[in-house]
Amino acid sequence: MAGERAGRAGGLLIREAQPSDASAIWGIIGPVIRAGETYTIDRDISRESALAYWMDGGGHCFVAEEAGVVLGTDYLKRNQAGGGSHVANCGYVVGEAARGKGIARAMCEHSMQKARELGFAAMQFNFVVSINIGAVRLWESLGFAIVGRLPDAFDHPKAGHVDALVMHRKL
């Protein structure tokens, strides 16, 4: 598929990931998985398994690049099978050096548009760590509401057990 220029100064290109993007994607998601502060992925997962999870989870995987450099990545898939197939799920990671520049927002807007094109009626994030305030605020600013609070659901490496949030919006 053709990529699309996101509405952002500097010409961020968001496009479908290719197998050749694997190293760049691992360079972005690897440190986040190893830190284990946001995603419920085993912190010692192998590179191969992590990339299979991220890139080949049964949906789409995208990269956000600028001047040929991959700065972020996200996936888009159905959140549930069967009677839950009309709700999308996404995950986003921005490389450490590129944070605070609106890339996560651009990727989320892009994935919502893609999800609409694919016929999804809503999008749900199942597990937003409650103390990840930047993420919670970003998703709220993009129209997501907190529809669930999972008590002590996340064992944060620094903060200990903290709540996780379920966030949702219609598309």
Binding site for its own copies (CB under 8 A): 33, 36-37, 39-43, 45, 80-87, 121-122, 124, 126-127, 129, 147-157, 161, 164, 166, 168, 170
Q: Choose between 106 and 129: whose C-beta lies nearer to its own copies.
A: 129
Distance of CA 92 to the CA centre of its chain: 2
DSSP one-letter string for 2-61: --EE-SSTTT-EEEE--GGGHHHHHHHHHHHHHHTSS--S-TT--HHHHHHHHHSSSSEE
Who contacts 133 (Cβ-Cβ below 8 Å, separation ≥6)? Answer: none
Q: What type of residue sits at position 104?
A: A
Q: Choose between 4 and 37: whose C-beta lies nearer to its own copies.
A: 37
Q: Choose between 68 and 157: whose C-beta lies nearer to its own copies.
A: 157
Minimum CB–partner distance for residue 36 and its own copies (Å)? 6
> Tokens 């064992």 appear where?
155
- How many angstroms separate the CA atoms of 43 and 163, rounded? 19
Minimum CB–partner distance for residue 12 and its own copies (Å)? 29
Minimum CB–partner distance for residue 170 and its own copies (Å)? 8
Judged by DSSP in three states, 156 sits in strand
Q: Choose between 73 and 79: whose C-beta lies nearer to its own copies.
A: 79
Strand-strand pairing, 122-129 and 87-94: parallel
Q: Choose between 43 and 137: whose C-beta lies nearer to its own copies.
A: 43
Minimum CB–partner distance for residue 57 and its own copies (Å)? 13
